[in-house]
Amino acid sequence: MPRYAAFLRGVSPMNAKMPELKQAFESAGFTDVKTILASGNVAFNARATSATSLQRKAEGAMLERLGQAFLTIVRPMDMLGEMLASDPYRAFRLEPAAKRIVTFLRDRPTAKLRLPIERDGARILSMTEREVFSAYMPTPKGPVFMVLLEKAFGKEVTTRTWDTVAKVTRA
């Protein structure tokens, strides 16, 4: 049975308990469910189907079990492993302190962007069909990269650090 990762937008320990989130995914019929960190990362097994179908199923189960649904973006673990192995950051000169982040898009973007795009030390470097690779330098201004990403891609996205994606892929 294929293994998948679900990345949920807006989850924190303040608004979702991980054991309850795990139960919601299990109630959707997913197996070997594991939550990773406390920020809306779920690894699970499911019959092979479309990511859209899995997203709907997970969101429906969360609504039923938790009383709210978080925007869910599903990717096959195989695809994430290939993405990590390809290291899309290798082509860019990043400062050692730069934070590498991956933004998962729910849908393919409608606008064609000229990359890289930079704002206040945050840079959108490259993208595939539904993944965006960015880097930023931490600043006192806070997460300026989120403003840059939402302006470019809207709110049907969720972002994780490169290290978090690696942890999810190992789950």
Least confident of 6-20, 61-75, 83-97, 144-158: 144-158
Single out the residue in 77, 99, 115 at which a domain terminates: 77
Query: Treating both helix axes as pointing N-terminal to C-terminal, what angle do 18-27 and 51-66 enclose, rounded to 10 degrees?
Result: 120
Give the tens place of pLDDT for each residue, 43-78: 999 999 999 999 999 999 999 999 999 999 999 999
What's the whole-model pTM score? Answer: 0.93
* C-alpha span between 86 and 82 (Å, rounded): 6
86 and 166 both lie in a single domain: yes
* Mean pLDDT, rounded, of the chain: 92
Which pLDDT band, with edges at 50, 70 and 90, does 106 fall under? very high
Domains identified in the chain, total number: 2
Residue 134 belongs to what domain range?
80-170
CATH code: domain of residue 45: 3.30.70.1280
One domain for residues 93 and 159? yes
Residue 124 binned pLDDT confidence (cut-offs 50, 70, 90): very high
Residue 25, token pair as written in the block: 């995914």
Residues 44/54/60/10 CA torsion (nearest 10 deg)? 70
| Residue where one domain finishes, among candidates 77, 92, 122 | 77
Instruction: Please choose, from the candidates 94, 102, 28, 101, the residue with its C-alpha nearest in 3D space to the C-alpha of residue 66.
Output: 28
In the numeric block, which tokens belong to residue 87? 């290291």
